[in-house]
């Protein structure tokens, strides 16, 4: 396609120019289709047949471009605009920047840490929480496990479905030490999965969050309510 475009720039052959125009239009429509519907080639084998049957009106996309609509904002509007999708994308941008700066430091193994403790592992924990914004960047370097560190750790634990004890025991330690490259891969996959969903209609939305074991109600104005769910080990078939 690139070679065809290069050739067309040096030619007055109308058939070549028409071919370039068709190629450009087809490429643009394909990009819009992928952005809106999540039918990315690398994921096609994993998609539900209903997702593969979805489509966009390519003529409408092309008519917008022909009318002078800037391409970048037009394609951006085709992406999902739900709060969850935008939050994942924002976190992905943050982690990519962290990776470019060398990633986050690993916390050395050792005994559990709690408020009042001190030492090199506490300094590592503070630095790790500070790297991803759980602890304010303005927090001074220290090797003391104070209340701000406990609060930052509780926030991290809540966001990762870990009991918010504010203590550094094996489970949060393992989660904190997941490499940034792995987190980026997870966020990228989740970002694509959000494209597979149908548009969420206006109004109140009820969401069952199995990861955090809670039921959430989200209103259009952003007001949210949440109820914890009790997850039992037993399971029964319902006729």
Which residue would you say has higher pLDDT here, 58 or 44? 58
Retrieve residue 123's tokens. Answer: 């300094």
Alpha carbons 180 and 33: distance in angstroms, whole number? 30
**Rounded Cα gap, residues 55 and 239, in angstroms:** 36
pLDDT on residue 127: 93
- pLDDT the model gives residue 230: 67
Question: Which pLDDT value is given to residue 239?
Answer: 39
46-89 confidence digits (pLDDT tens): 666 766 777 788 888 888 888 888 888 888 787 787 778 888 88
Contact predicate 138/84, CB 8 Å = no
How much helix, strand and coil, in percent to the nearest 5, is found in the chain? Answer: 50, 10, 40
In angstroms, the CA 16 to CA 8 distance is: 6
Q: How high does pLDDT run on average in the chain? A: 81
Share of the chain above pLDDT 70, in %: 79
Measured distance CA(49)–CA(207) in Å, rounded: 24
User: What sign has the CA pseudo-torsion 102, 104, 109, 114?
Assistant: positive
The count of C-alpha atoms lying within 13 angstroms of the C-alpha of 191, restricted to the half-sphere facing its C-beta, is: 18
What is the pLDDT, as a whole number, of residue 60?
Answer: 86
Render pLDDT for 106-135 as a digit per residue (tens, 0 to 9): 999 999 999 999 999 999 999 999 999 999
Tens digits of residue pLDDT in 177-218: 999 999 998 898 888 777 776 656 666 777 776 666 777 777
Task: Give pLDDT, residue 205.
Answer: 72
Return the percentage of the chain with pLDDT > 90, whole number. 33
Res 238 pLDDT > 50: no
- What are the angstrom distances between the C-alpha of 233 and each of 131, 207, 230, 236? 37, 21, 10, 10
């Amino acid at each position: 396609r690139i070679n065809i475009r290069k050739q067309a720039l040096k030619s007055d052959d109308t058939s070549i120019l028409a071919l370039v125009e068709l190629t450009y239009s087809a490429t643009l429509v394909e990009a819009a289709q992928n952005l809106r519907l999540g039918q990315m080639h690398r994921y096609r084998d994993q998609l539900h047949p209903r997702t593969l049957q979805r489509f966009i009106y390519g003529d409408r996309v092309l008519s917008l471009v022909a009318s002078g609509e800037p391409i970048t904002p037009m394609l951006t509007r085709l992406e999902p605009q739900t709060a969850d999708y935008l939050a994942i994308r924002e976190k992905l941008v943050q982690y990519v920047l962290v990776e470019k700066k060398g990633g986050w430091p690993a916390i050395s193994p050792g005994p559990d840490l709690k408020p009042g403790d001190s030492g090199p592992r506490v300094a590592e924990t503070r630095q790790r929480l500070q790297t991803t914004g759980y602890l304010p960047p303005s927090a001074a370097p220290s090797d003391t496990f104070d209340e701000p560190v406990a609060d930052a750790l509780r926030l991290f634990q809540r966001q990762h479905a870990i009991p918010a004890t504010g203590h550094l025991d094996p489970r949060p330690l393992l989660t904190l030490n997941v490499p940034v490259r792995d987190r980026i891969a997870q966020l990228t996959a989740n970002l694509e999965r959000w494209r597979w969903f149908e548009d969420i209609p206006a109004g109140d939305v009820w969401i069952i969050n199995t990861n955090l074991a809670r039921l959430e109600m989200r209103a259009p104005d952003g007001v949210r309510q949440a109820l914890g769910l009790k997850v039992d080990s037993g399971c029964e078939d319902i006729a």
